[in-house]
């Protein structure tokens, strides 16, 4: 079982950058992919980005591709989400999640979730 703790959220202005971190602890031997999702008020949780834990393969939602970068540092057991050129539409609670399966943008593929970190982008 793994545990996930997100950090790095905050209030920024449109065009700013922000880095989110997801600290991973516990038994990661079966973890294959880590994902970032977000949920805006009144909306369903949606996929943002995912990365394989060992190989570094990545996949992004079209809405963030070329602005966001997901990466991982296995030595630090941490997954990052670097967000550039932030827009008000990026305002949401951002969640980190772990999966034993392949890269996926489906919520149901992820079995463990963090508590989330709030990102607010003002115009």
Split at pLDDT 50, 70, 90, the class of 94 is very high
**pLDDT computed for residue 53 by the predictor:** 87
Q: Read out DSSP for the chain?
A: -EEEEEE--EEEETT--EEEEEEEEE--TT--EEEEEEE-TTS--EEEEEEETTT--EEE-TTTTTTEEEEEETTTTEEEEEE-S--GGG-EEEEEEEESSSS---GGG--EE---EEEEEE-
pLDDT in tens, 17-74: 999 999 999 988 888 999 999 999 999 999 999 999 887 899 999 999 999 999 999 9
pLDDT at 1: 85
Write out the two tokens for 52.
């394989």
In the structure, what pLDDT confidence band is assigned to residue 82 with cuts at 50, 70 and 90?
very high
The answer to whether 7 and 20 are in contact (CB under 8 A) is yes
Determine how β-strand 117-122 pairs with β-strand 46-52. Answer: unpaired
How does the average pLDDT of the chain come out, rounded? 95
């Amino acid at each position: 079982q793994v545990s996930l703790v997100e950090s790095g959220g905050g209030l920024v202005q449109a065009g700013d950058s922000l880095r989110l971190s997801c600290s991973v602890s516990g038994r990661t031997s079966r973890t294959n992919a880590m994902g970032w999702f977000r949920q805006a008020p009144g909306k369903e949780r949606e996929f943002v980005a995912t990365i394989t834990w060992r190989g570094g393969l990545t996949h992004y939602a079209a809405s963030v591709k070329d602005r966001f970068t997901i990466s991982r540092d296995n030595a630090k057991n941490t997954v990052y989400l670097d967000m550039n050129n932030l827009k008000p539409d990026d305002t949401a609670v951002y969640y980190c999640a772990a999966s034993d399966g392949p890269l996926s943008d489906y919520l149901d593929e992820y079995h463990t979730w963090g508590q989330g970190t709030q990102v607010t982008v003002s115009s």
